[in-house]
Amino acid sequence: MIHYLLLPFFSFLFIVLQTTVFELLFLNLVSVEISLILVIYAGFHMDALKGGLLSCALGFFLDVITGTIVGLHVILYLSIFFISMLVSLRVYAERSLFILSYVLACALLECGVMLLFYKHIQGLDLFHKFDTVFLPQILVVTLVSPVCFNSFRRFGDILNVRVERSNKRSRNR
Residue 114 beta carbon to another protein: minimum distance, rounded to whole angstroms: 12
Are 45 and 87 contacting, i.e. CB atoms less than 8 angstroms apart? no
d(CA 91, CA 75): 24
Task: Give yes or no for a contact between 134 and 33, defined as CB atoms under 8 angstroms apart.
Answer: no
**4 vs 101, which CB is nearer to another protein?**
4
Cβ closer to another protein: 115 or 135? Answer: 115
Considering beta carbons, is residue 61 or 134 the nearer one to another protein? 61
Residue 69 Cβ vs another protein, minimum distance, rounded to whole Å = 5
CA distances in angstroms from 49 to 40, 45, 62, 82, 123, listed in the order given? 15, 12, 20, 11, 34
* Distance of closest approach, residue 8 Cβ to another protein, in angstroms: 9
The residue among 15 and 148 lying less far from another protein, judged by its C-beta, is: 15
- Residue 53's CB is within 10 A of a number of other CB atoms, namely 19
Q: What are phi and psi of 47, to 5 degrees?
A: -80, 170
Least CB distance from residue 53 to another protein, whole Å? 7
The rounded distance, in Å, linking the Cα atoms of 84 and 89 is 9
Q: Minimum distance from CB of 141 to another protein (Å)?
A: 21
Q: Which residues bind another protein (CB under 8 A)?
A: 12-13, 15-17, 19-21, 24, 47-49, 52-53, 55-56, 59-61, 64-65, 69-72, 74-75, 78, 82, 121
Which residue lies nearer to another protein by CB, 96 or 172? 172
